[in-house]
């Protein structure tokens, strides 16, 4: 029997017909999942859409849910699936659009999940230059490495929990995490060893 | 302390150490090693600091009303179509879909003055094309992928056909 898991208890209450327990779960996890989505996508534009999709899947799982893993691990597993599917869906849609050229401007409204990686106008500027460099490094990682490192370092999941969320073996997860950490370290090393903020193309426009 | 740039200590051990994931005997052995190997001590320091930066990245606060919007969106979850498709085995769903596409194509042998496609038909074709693109995902029995595809179909349903650029400029021919 695992440690007490109040989130799993809420899910079981929801399973028993208590809709307020579902709202409580969304309330408890919204910050974590929206932030993870934001970090995964590299932009705030679609972060809430991705998070909403995660919560809708939790809703749909109402009848089939079984508390086998910690609830938070299970939520992260869903988040991983939604995130990776999102990238796949984007590729398919880009393919569709390329195959069928559109006529003129009449773009019938916003299509969700289009082109992440573009900073939305409302995005808060990352004040810390180092954080900006790190964001670019993360964006450059392969999808699975990026999500694994975010689960482990950003969400604070253990190796074991990360492996469960990624549905991978522990050793494969370790190797994924190690590769990501080495890349991040190598690219940050110049900034970490000189102890000064990185020089950036646009840095001259900032101070004066 | 000696500087041994050629120390062969595996990097995954150093990473695991900084993550507090190195178990008992290995942990002590590595700590002893770090006292005598400047190269590994430096690597551990860099790994620790770069890892801490990831942990400290600013998050994003959900906008006001996020919980309410999610709860409101759950009303759509119970729609019959999604439910039916989710209960179908993926392979059967794929067969069904191919059948639908073919049936729709057959239906298209109509008088030539009716060549212009209605918006609903354009939408259906956009959905068919999308499903054909995703047949392998449907066949690999992954319920998550199936749900994702269903949602993409919903997306096609929710935007104007022009957004997909299907058969633009062919009407009135
Ligand atoms: Zn060493």
Confidence at residue B96, expressed as pLDDT on a 0 to 100 scale: 64
> Which domain, by its residues, includes A123?
118-208
Residue B91 resides in a domain? yes
Between vectors from CA A157 to CA A154 and to CA A161, what angle results, nearest 5°? 145
Contact A59 B69 (CB under 8 A): no
Q: Which residue of A has its CA nearest to B143?
A: A81
Model confidence at B112, in pLDDT bands (50, 70, 90)?
A: very low
One domain, residues A71 and A142: no
Residues B136-159 pLDDT 10s: 665 555 556 666 666 676 666 655
Arithmetic mean of pLDDT, A22-31? 98
Arithmetic mean of pLDDT, B62-89? 74
One domain, residues B47 and B117: no
Cα(A57)–Cα(A79) distance, rounded to whole angstroms?
A: 9
Arithmetic mean of pLDDT, B32-40? 96
Structural domains of chain B, count: 2
When mean pLDDT is compared across A113-127, B56-70, B151-165, the lowest value belongs to: A113-127
Which of A26, A125, A171, A179 best probes binding to B when mutated, by most B CB atoms within 10 angstroms?
A: A26
Structural domains of chain A, count: 2
Residue A185 resides in a domain? yes
One domain, residues B91 and B42: no
Chain B positions touching A103 (Cβ under 8 A) are 162, 165, 168-169
Confidence at residue B79, expressed as pLDDT on a 0 to 100 scale: 55
Distance from CA of B50 to the nearest CA of A (A): 6
Residue A113 resides in a domain? no
> Which domain, by its residues, includes B120?
80-166
pLDDT at B75 over 50: yes
Three-state secondary structure readout of chain B: CECCCCCCCCHHHHHHHHCCCCCHHHHHHHHHHHHHEHHHHHHHHHHHHHHHHHHCCCCCCCCCCHHHHHHHHHHHHCCHHHHHHHHCCHHHHHHHHHHHHHHHHHCCCCCHHHCCCCHHHHHHHHHHHHHHHCHHHHHCCCHHHHHHHHHHHHHHHHCCHHHHCCCCCCCCC
One domain, residues B38 and B87: no
One domain, residues A91 and A151: no
Domain ends where: A47, A70, A99?
A99
Residues A45-96 pLDDT 10s: 899 999 999 999 999 999 999 988 899 999 999 999 999 888 777 766 666 6
Confidence at residue B137, expressed as pLDDT on a 0 to 100 scale: 64
Contact A102 B165 (CB under 8 A): yes
Q: Which residues of A37-73 are buried (b: 16+ CB within 10 A; e: fewer)?
A: bbbbbbbbbbbbbbbbbbbbbbbbbbeebeeebbbbb
Q: Which residue of B has its CA nearest to A110?
A: B159
Contact A178 B165 (CB under 8 A): no
Residues lining ligand 1 (ion), CB within 5 A?
B 7, 9, 37, 40
One domain, residues A81 and A125: no
User: What percentage of residues in chain A have a pLDDT greater than 90?
Assistant: 59
Average pLDDT, chain B: 73
Structure pTM? 0.66
pLDDT at B115 over 60: no
pLDDT at A116 over 90: no
One domain, residues A2 and A92: yes
One domain, residues B51 and B106: no
| ipTM of the prediction | 0.77
Nearest CA to A185 among A141, A144, A155, A151?
A141
Residue B96 resides in a domain? yes
Q: Return the CA Rg of chain A.
A: 20
One domain, residues B43 and B97: no
Cα(A155)–Cα(A96) distance, rounded to whole angstroms?
A: 35
One domain, residues B88 and B157: yes
One domain, residues B113 and B152: yes
Domain ends where: A47, A72, A99?
A99
One domain, residues A93 and A4: yes
């Amino acid at each position: 029997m695992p440690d007490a898991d109040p989130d799993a208890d809420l899910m079981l209450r929801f399973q028993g017909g208590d809709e307020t327990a579902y709202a409580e779960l969304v309330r408890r996890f919204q910050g974590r999942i929206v932030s993870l989505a934001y970090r995964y996508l590299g932009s705030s534009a679609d972060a809430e859409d991705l998070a909403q999709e995660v919560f809708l899947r939790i809703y749909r799982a109402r009848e089939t849910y079984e508390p086998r893993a910690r609830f938070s691990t299970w939520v992260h597993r869903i988040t991983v699936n939604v995130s990776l599917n999102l990238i796949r869906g984007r590729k398919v849609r880009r393919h569709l659009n390329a195959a069928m050229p559109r006529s003129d401007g009449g773009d019938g409204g916003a299509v969700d999940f289009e082109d992440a990686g573009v900073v939305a106008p409302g995005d808060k500027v990352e004040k810390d230059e180092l954080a900006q460099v790190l964001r670019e490094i993360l964006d450059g990682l392969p999808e699975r490495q990026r999500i694994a490192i975010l689960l482990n370092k950003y969400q604070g999941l253990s190796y074991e929990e990360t492996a469960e969320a990624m549905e991978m073996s522990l050793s494969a997860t370790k190797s994924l995490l190690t590769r990501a950490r080495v890349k991040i370290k190598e690219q940050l090393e110049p900034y970490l060893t000189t102890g000064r903020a990185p020089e950036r193309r646009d840095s001259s426009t900032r101070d004066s | 302390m000696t500087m041994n740039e050629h120390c062969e200590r595996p990097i995954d051990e150093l990473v695991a150490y900084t993550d507090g994931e190195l178990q008992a005997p290995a942990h002590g052995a590595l700590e002893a090693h770090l006292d005598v190997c400047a190269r590994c001590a430096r690597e551990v320091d860099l790994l620790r600091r770069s890892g801490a930066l990831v942990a400290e990245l600013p998050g994003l606060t959900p906008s006001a009303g996020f919980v309410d919007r999610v709860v409101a969106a759950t009303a759509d979850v119970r729609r019959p179509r999604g439910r039916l498709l989710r209960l179908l085995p993926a392979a059967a769903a794929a067969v069904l879909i191919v059948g639908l596409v073919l049936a729709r194509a057959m239906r298209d042998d109509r008088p030539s003055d009716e060549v212009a496609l209605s918006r609903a038909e354009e939408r259906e074709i956009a959905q068919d094309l999308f499903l054909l693109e995703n047949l392998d995902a449907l066949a690999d029995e992954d319920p998550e992928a199936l749900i994702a595809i269903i949602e993409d179909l919903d997306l096609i349903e929710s935007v104007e056909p022009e957004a997909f650029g299907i058969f633009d400029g062919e009407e009135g021919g």
